[in-house]
Amino acid sequence: MRLMTFAAGLFAATSLSACASLNPPPAEPETIVEVEVVEEPAPLEVAVHSGDFAEIQQFTTPGGASVWLVSEPSIPILSLNMAWKGGEASDPEGLEGLTDAVTYHMNEGAGDLDSLGFQTRMEDLNMSFGCSASNNWTSCSASMLTDNADDAMALIATAFEDPRFDEGPFERFRREQQVGLKTRETSAGYLAWKAQSQALYPDHPYARTKTDESIAALTPELAKEQMRKLMVKDRLLVTAVGAVTPEELAPMIDEVIADLPETSTLPETPDIVLPELEPADPIVVDLPQPQSLVQFTGPGLKRDDPDFFPAFVLNYSYGGGGFESRLMKVLRIEKGLTYGIYTSLSPGEHIQTWSGGGQTKNESAGEFIQGIKNEMEDLVEHGVTEEELADAKAYLTGSYPLGFDSNAKIASQMMGVRQDELGIDYFDLRNDKVRAVTLEDVNRVAKEYLNPEDYLFVAVGQPEGISVEEFESEDPAEMESESED
Amino acid sequence: MKRILTGGLAALAVFALPALADTAAEPSQSWTPTTFHLDNGMQVVVIPDHRAPVVTHMVWYKVGAVDEAPGKSGIAHLFEHVMFQQTDTLAPGEFDSIVSRNGGQSNAFTSWDYTAYFERVAKEQLGTMMELEADRMVNLVIDDDPEGAFISERDVVKEERRQRIDNNPGVILQEQVLSELWKGHPYEITVIGNMDEVAALTPEDGLNFYHEYYSPENAILVVAGDVSEDEVRTLAEATYGQIVPTGTAHGQRKWRDVPLLTEDDLIVHADPKVRQPVWSRYYNGVSQIRTPHEAYALEVGLEVLGGGMTSRLYQSLVEQQQLAISVSSYAWSDLHDPGPAVISASPAPGVSMDELETAVMAEVELALEEGFTQAEVVRARNKLAATAIYSRDSQSTMANVFGSTLAIGGTIEDVLSYPDEVRAITPDEAIAAVRKIFGPDRHFIEAQLLPSEEGN
């Protein structure tokens, strides 16, 4: 394969769709369609937004769920996403892994069905349903055939009403977690993330990780309590795409959420201010393998920062544009030092970073890191050219429709817009925001954000050609850092 | 968000999914793939999908690692990279620039059986993409400058090999096992090639390969998305249709039967990076293209045996006996020639490889003896058939399914009839297929991935 997409390690690349806007106000619905609903006294009020990429039907179910739906009749599938703000960062200290325990068990038995019964029922219905969590969000998604959507949604409803958290699956969860703790000891991506988070925000909940002790302290009761805190009605967002109408979908969703608590209080996540870095050598984590994983992290921007879009466009030219980026052109195409290198913006609510990474043979690690810094310096000093800016805008605007060619993609794009509160007209406005970026904006942002001395570099492997910063790993003796020059 | 690297040897053939297709539950007839040939022999497949104004444009060449000359392993894959370099009309890097400036995404991949190039673009750009692909089908320039693009791309591929294989103990072991399983067959060398042989490939090797295999009569065009057959035909005739066949694409492939293993073998790979051992047995399997009915029966049977959480092996080894963290069985049957059928498990803490093996194989023996129930088989075959409907959600998946099937000699009808064929598998056929593969007269390669002393 010519270029592996960047799913490796902790390469959490920002998707093109997930970029920010300048806090647009929610758009006025363009039309209001009122439809009579059988058995319901009040008709469902559906606001229809006919956007450039999708016709979004926005409504609140009688049970109180706020839903964005795209009706797509051409394939007999329904994709459903649910998300609640609040995730792994809300795990109490010493109980790291609690939220993961919740999401693990959501399809492990409910009501009369034990784990095997639940899984068998899902197979009988040819459906999928599962949940997951990130630092800030707890999410569930389901795919089902519209033919038996009623039965599929009824099964999902039991998972929210009466989840079992049986001892058997819970023990299996613990065993799997223990194996995960062991295998991460030699995962280059994990080791890089660990070194970086310890250096930049060691005391923040985002830096905490699961441990043998925290996993041992988890119980089904604690997980059940946490589930009732995470999955509540007033923080629920729903998006769906498929061969259904709002009138068909609303009662199914109401059945699913009927038993959720109205609300809950979760601990606040503090904001992270990245520390001023001392002039420092890269942190090196020793790992016996032929290649070094290099990651670098510096300050980024919030989504509502007026400079976010200039930074987003600049990122394409620096390291975000596949073969068109400066880093790829120099480090892969000219020098053949790497199979791939990327940069991305992470405009999180509590931490904003600009980061990147790639892998190179141990022998060329020093040259690789120097190359990354050189390109930063060149951008600070000279900025990008008019042609680069035009190319970036052409790609970023022209490729945007590619994110809307499947039901699952549209459902997930809508959820991204909802989670970041970008407004229902975001899809329509986004390309104009990209087009409005000027060369002056971009080059000012480069000067402000791409100074090599603001970036923390981590190399995992057995890199050569760099002097190193000592890094004390939590892991066994052979993982200790070593100095080479 | 944490993501886990799941790369592996098989990732090179990343789109070689099981052939999947439509089923009876069909609310709209708008989805009807069609095919025709251009005068120069190039086959064209059109898969209409009008949900978004986007198209996936793919060119599949009927050449892959199977066709490489002795000592030239990795040339098919390296050449795939080189195809993005210079042509008579395009400077190095210009191909990518043009695609990107048109808002498109492009990539390519190589398997044992084929090489494919694709662009995903807004439908208005389809003609431009065809012009670009048609241009590099005939006008490629390979510089023999020892410091030129060919050499630096060769270095990139060496980094790719390190990243995908040499960094990953599990993939290193799999490479060794497959090489042994396919010993004497052209599949025995990994698609990306041996490091030493890749390092020795020359621009001349590239040119020879190009002239032998890259020609319209050896290629298949697949367009999925917001287009009609007529639109595609018009554009294709104006671009690909203008190319005169070289006549050098002889169409002879080195495909042949995979010899059965003649004795049991054990391959152990111990590595300081390994923290969790893995046990596997590789048996001679089957191929969908050679013996479809038998392959579908085996897929259904292995789904019942070890296909997921409800499977026999998972319920016994992970849930009841708690001897394994994971266990699975699957068949690699989407290559032209038979790939392996594999049983794989990872031990729970404190369980030895021997204990694990004994327990897994006892459960397999029990299943072979008892046979499967009707209910198990119905569930497994419905699950496989339903995956076909879900795959329709992705334009690229559909393009890949049709392209890969046709590139190894299958037909559109093979793809379309898959769900019905799978649903027709009886419990007797499913268990018979599994019994044959794991029968007492069959040999296997056992693979053990272990932590090395210094690593633990």
The CA angle B103-A331-A7, to the nearest 5 degrees, is: 60
Structure tokens at A277: 């870095």
Mean pLDDT across the stretch B65-74? 97
For residue B137, what is the enclosing H or E element? Answer: helix B126-138
For A134, nearest residue in chain B (alpha carbons): B1
* pLDDT the model gives residue A6: 40
**Between β-strands B265-271 and B444-451, what pairing exists: parallel, antiparallel or unpaired?**
parallel
CATH of domain A283-461: 3.30.830.10
pLDDT in tens, B390-408: 999 999 999 999 999 999 9
Per-residue pLDDT tens digits for B11-44:
333 233 333 333 333 434 446 899 999 999 999 9
Q: Residue A267: is its pLDDT beyond 60?
A: yes
Which pLDDT value is given to residue A2?
A: 79
Q: What is the pLDDT of residue B32?
A: 85
Is residue A479's pLDDT more than 50?
no
- For residue A169, the chain B residue with the least C-alpha distance is B319
Question: Which of A134, A143, A337 lies closest to B1 in CB terms?
Answer: A134
Q: Which amino acid is at A30?
A: E
| Contacting B residues, span 81-140, partner chain A, CB-CB under 8 Å | 81, 84, 92-93, 96-97, 100-105, 107-110, 120-122, 125
Give me the pLDDT at residue A472, please.
46
Q: Taking Cα atoms as reference points, which of A322, A324, A342, A340 lies closest to residue A332?
A: A340
Give the list of residues 6+ apart from residue B73 with CB closer than 8 angstroms, or none: B65, B189, B190, B193, B194, B197, B198
Does the structure show a pLDDT above 60 at A35? no
- Which residue in the block uniquely carries the two structure tokens 């040119």? B207
The whole-number pLDDT of residue A15 equals 29
Instruction: Determine whether the interchain pair A321/B26 forms a contact, defined as Cβ–Cβ distance below 8 Å.
Output: no
State chain B's mean pLDDT as an integer.
Answer: 91
pLDDT at A166 over 50: yes
Contact at 8 Å (CB) between B171 and B164? yes
Distance from CA of B49 to the nearest CA of A (A): 9
User: Would you place residue A468 in the very low, low, confident or very high pLDDT band (cuts 50, 70, 90)?
Assistant: low
Active site residues per annotation of B: 80
Question: C-alpha distances in angstroms, A333 versus A463, B142, B157?
Answer: 21, 15, 11
pLDDT score recorded for residue A335:
94
CB B115 within 8 A of CB B60: yes
Residue from the list A145, A324, A332 with its beta carbon closest to the beta carbon of B156? A332
User: What is the per-residue pLDDT for A219?
Assistant: 98
Angle at A176 between CA A173 and CA A179, to 5 degrees: 150
Give the model's pLDDT for residue B31. 64
Band the pLDDT of B149: cuts 50, 70, 90.
Answer: confident
Task: Answer for the pair A372, A338: CB distance below 8 angstroms, yes or no.
Answer: no
In DSSP terms, A142 is beta-bridged to A80, A129
Residue A13 reports pLDDT greater than 60: no
Contact of B276 with chain A, judged by CB distance below 8 Å, is answered with: yes
Percentage above 90 pLDDT, chain A: 85
Instruction: Find the CB nearest A360 among B6, B159, B322.
Output: B159
Are the folds of A46-257 and A283-461 the same? yes
A224-257: pLDDT as tens digits: 999 999 999 999 999 999 999 999 999 999 999 9
- Summary mean pLDDT of chain A: 90
Residue-range domains of chain B with CATH: 34-242 (3.30.830.10), 265-451 (3.30.830.10)
- Name the helix (H) or strand (E) containing B255: none
Average pLDDT on B56-66 reads: 98
Which of B109, B383, B393 lies closest to A407 in CB terms?
A: B393
Say which residue the tokens 């109180």 belong to: A64
Nearest neighbour of A401 by CB, restricted to B11, B52, B310 = B52
Q: What number is the ipTM of this complex? A: 0.91
**Chain B environment of A400 (Cβ under 8 Å):** 103
Cα torsion for B164, B166, B170, B174, to the nearest 10°? 90
Q: Do B349 and A178 touch (CB under 8 A)?
A: yes
- The pLDDT confidence band at residue B9, using thresholds 50, 70 and 90, is very low
**Residue A176 near residue B325, CB atoms below 8 Å:** yes
Q: Which residue has the tokens 């996403």?
A: A81
Asked if B350 has any chain A CB less than 8 Å from its own CB, the reply is no
For the range B309-316, what are the long-range contacts, defined as Cβ-Cβ under 8 Å and sequence gap of 24 or more? Answer: B309/A115, B309/A116, B309/A119, B310/A116, B310/A119, B310/A120, B310/A123, B310/B379, B312/B363, B312/B367, B313/B343, B313/B345, B313/B360, B313/B363, B313/B364, B315/A116, B316/B359, B316/B363
Using one digit for the tens of pLDDT, what is the confidence trace for B196-227?
A: 999 999 999 999 999 999 999 999 999 999 99
CA distances from A450 to A10, A13, A157, A323 (A): 21, 18, 49, 20
What is the tens place of the pLDDT at every residue in A95-124? Answer: 999 999 999 999 999 999 999 999 999 999
Is the Cβ pair A74, B5 closer than 8 Å?
Answer: no
- Per-residue pLDDT at B416 exceeds 90: yes
Which superfamily, per CATH, for A46-257?
Metalloenzyme, LuxS/M16 peptidase-like (3.30.830.10)
Amino acid A402: pLDDT: 96
Report angle CA B378, B302, B416 to the nearest 5 degrees. Answer: 60
Residue B100 pLDDT grade (very low, low, confident, very high; cuts 50, 70, 90): very high
Query: Domain residues of chain A, as ranges?
Result: 46-257, 283-461
Confidence at B419, pLDDT banded by 50, 70, 90: very high
pLDDT at A280 over 90: no
Residue A466 and residue A61 in contact, taking contact as beta carbons nearer than 8 Å:
no
Give the contacts of B446 (CB within 8 A, at least 6 positions apart): B264, B265, B266, B267, B279, B280, B281, B282, B357
d(Cα A182, Cα A427) in Å, to the nearest integer? 43
Q: What is the pLDDT of residue A268?
A: 95
| Residue B298 pLDDT exceeds 80 | yes
B379-414 burial, b at 16+ Cβ within 10 Å, e below that, comes to bbbbbbbbbbbbbbbbbbbbbbbbbbbbbbebebeb
- For the segment A1-26, the average pLDDT, to the nearest whole number, is 40
CB–CB of B393 and A406 under 8 A?
Answer: yes
CB B448 within 8 A of CB B404: no
- Which residues are bridge partners to A231 per DSSP? none
The burial class, CB within 10 Å (0-12 / 13-18 / 19+), for B188 is middle
Distance from C-alpha of A395 to C-alpha of B102, rounded to nearest angstrom = 6
Residues β-bridged to residue A33:
A46
* Mutation to test the A interface, candidates B166, B310, B381, most A Cβ within 10 Å: B310
pLDDT value at residue A1: 77
Residue B170 has pLDDT above 70, yes or no: yes
Banded model confidence at residue B143, pLDDT cuts 50, 70, 90: confident
pLDDT of residue B418: 94
What distance in Å separates the CA atoms of residue B347 and residue B275, rounded to the nearest whole number? 11
Q: Which of B81, B125, B192, B309 to mutate to test the interface with A (most CBs of A within 10 A)?
A: B309
Tens digits of residue pLDDT in A348-375: 999 999 999 999 999 999 999 999 999 9
A207-228 b/e (C-beta count within 10 Å ≥ 16 → b): bbbbeeebbeebebebbeebbe
* Per-residue pLDDT at B147 exceeds 80: no
Judging contacts by C-beta atoms under 8 Å, the chain A residues touching residue B167 are 188, 289-291, 359
Question: Which range among A263-272, A283-292, B246-255 shows the weakest confidence by mean pLDDT?
Answer: B246-255
Q: Which positions 374-393 of B are in contact with A (Cβ < 8 Å)?
A: 379, 382-383, 386, 389-390, 392-393
Separation between Cα atoms, residue B394 and residue B387, nearest integer Å: 12
Residues of A in Cβ contact (< 8 Å) with B80:
2
* CA proximity to A30, closest of A44, A48, A46: A48
Q: Any idea what the Cα angle at residue A177 is, between residues A171 and A182, rounded to 5°?
A: 135
Exposure on the CB side of residue A443, measured as CA atoms within 13 A: 12
- On the question of pLDDT at B249 being above 90, the answer is no
A341-347: strand order across its sheet? A283-286, A456-461, A291-299, A352-361, A341-347
